A and B are shown apart, each in its own frame.
Chain A
Amino acid sequence: MSELKVTAIKEGTVIDHIPAGKGLKVIQILKLDKLNGGALLLAANVHSKKLGKKDIVKIEGRFLSEEEVNKIALIAPSATVNIVREYKVAEKFQVEIPSEIVGILRCANPNCVSNHEYTTPKFYVISKEPLKVRCHYCERTMEEKEILANL
């Protein structure tokens, strides 16, 4: 419980079981560097029974939208989201890669119409492990590396 003591928050979100090394990326895509005054804590390379090593991100005074949770799922499919109220975990759920990814990902194909016209980008998940999606518009596939670069 020593980890908890150091980094306890009263209210907010704990993103746990992030694969080691992906915590910073989670912070980036949630734009947590522009936080509204609350504390932001990253525990990197923490020992984990399930993953060996993991990262944890704790965000004080902020809760996540469905879109944000879906973004996390793409980066860190193993992550669990804990909603903390009054210092206690009030709710906990496992993120899940949706079958369609709407609005949160840009197409890596520069000649895709979605990069030129007003559209809501949309992708179909054709494989979760390894992650692979197909653009609804240009039909090109993107794999993990390209996906992370375009979130």
Chain B
Amino acid sequence: MWKGRDVISIRDFKKEDIEHVLKTAERLERELKDEGALKYAGGKILATLFFEPSTRTRLSFESAMHRLGGSVIGFSEASSTSVKKGESLRDTIKTVEQYSDVIVIRHPEEGAARLAAEVADIPVINAGDGSNQHPTQTLLDLYTIKRTFGRIDGLKIGLLGDLKYGRTVHSLSEALTHYDVELYLISPELLRMPKHIVEELRDKGVKIYETSDLESVIPELDVLYATRIQKERFPDEQEYLKVKGSYVITLDLLKNAKESLKIMHPLPRVDEIHPSVDASKHAIYFRQVFSGVPVRMALLGLTLGVVE
């Protein structure tokens, strides 16, 4: 059922699909630790097509494929390819699938991964299509929460920062509707979560609290998921600086937090989290980075049909 399947949008995932990926990732993480290199994807080739640069996502997919015993071909920016000569995405995909067994694509246009999946006979995994979807980020976020707390149900999760434009928080909150969680939406007035998303979340039974006051909700939270606030979103510099200052996570701010509060961030960060927080028991954002590998191993293995 997983063999040959595409991973395009978190919308396509039922709860049991998410759970299966998380379980498989956990198993592979354990096997990797016990046995070192794995051999599941021996002889298989992953093509990474990055029409737009990305360090983390591309490296972790490549690392995942190598850890599974497979190999990798691809490019990391469109300027070095025939796309520059005007080749269509369709033709690029049709060509690359002759060389590989699975494709990972990042592309600046929304819907590019969906189109690639329609064109290709081999599985396609979306590593980001414009401002639309980045499903493997969401899955690794869920995996990080699950590995840390042993569960997702029952948690109080704060989403912080740019909730209006942030693709990561939109997908994550959508995925969290499958679980019994309470969501604290913490953002400046200007960057609140779009109304239609809030309504959709409420319709699906998620308890939602919206606030702009980070400090006052800190004591409630089990997870604080921070995201970057971009300067471009603000009409003037002063407004930006004012807002930015009130959403920096410092050790001082965390004084009233639960012992068990965990802080996540999709990275790269600018100055949303003070570096002094890194060494605290609250910080799990580098562990979150690590999660990218087992989760992507699971997705590669499942879609290739080399793991169950």
Contacts and interface: CB of A to CB of B under 8 A. Distances in A.
B124 to A, nearest CB: 13
Nearest to B112: A113
A117 B109 CA distance: 10
Contact of A139 (B107, B111, B115): B111
B130 A137 contact: no
A98 B90 CA distance: 28
B109 A139 contact: no
Interface in A108-151: 109, 111-114, 116-119, 135-141
Which of A113, A118, A137, A140 has the most chain B CB atoms closer than 10 A to its own CB? A113
B90 to A, nearest CB: 6
Contacts of B9: 139
Given A117-B90, A118-B88, A137-B114, A112 B11 contact: no
Nearest to A121: B111
Which of B90, B108, B115, B130 has the most chain A CB atoms closer than 10 A to its own CB? B115
Nearest to A134: B11
B290 to A, nearest CB: 29
Contacts of A140: 110, 132
A138 B130 contact: yes
B130 A111 contact: yes
A2 B109 CA distance: 56
A140 B114 CA distance: 13
Interface residues of A, number: 16
A114 B16 CA distance: 31
Interface in B115-141: 115, 129-133
Given A139-B9, A139-B11, A117 B88 contact: yes
Contacts of B115: 113-114, 117, 119, 137
Nearest to B109: A113
Contacts of B108: 111
A111 B196 CA distance: 21
Which of B108, B114, B131, B196 has the most chain A CB atoms closer than 10 A to its own CB? B114
B89 A113 contact: yes
A88 to B, nearest CB: 46
Contacts of B109: 111-113, 116, 138
A116 B89 CA distance: 9
Nearest to A141: B196
Nearest to A109: B110
Contacts of A111: 108-110, 130-131
Which of A118, A139, A140, A141 has the most chain B CB atoms closer than 10 A to its own CB? A139
Interface in B71-117: 88-90, 107-112, 114-115
Nearest to B114: A137
A118 B89 CA distance: 9
Interface in B4-22: 9, 11
B111 A118 contact: no
B241 to A, nearest CB: 30
A117 B115 CA distance: 9
Contacts of B129: 113, 138
Given A113-B115, A116-B89, 16 more contacts: A111-B108, A111-B109, A111-B110, A112-B109, A112-B111, A113-B107, A113-B114, A114-B115, A117-B88, A117-B89, A117-B115, A136-B114, A137-B114, A137-B115, A138-B109, A139-B110
10 contacts: A109-B110, A111-B130, A113-B89, A113-B115, A114-B111, A135-B111, A137-B110, A137-B115, A139-B132, A140-B110
**Leading 7 A-B pairs by shortest Cβ distance:** A137-B111, A138-B110, A113-B111, A138-B111, A113-B109, A113-B112, A113-B115
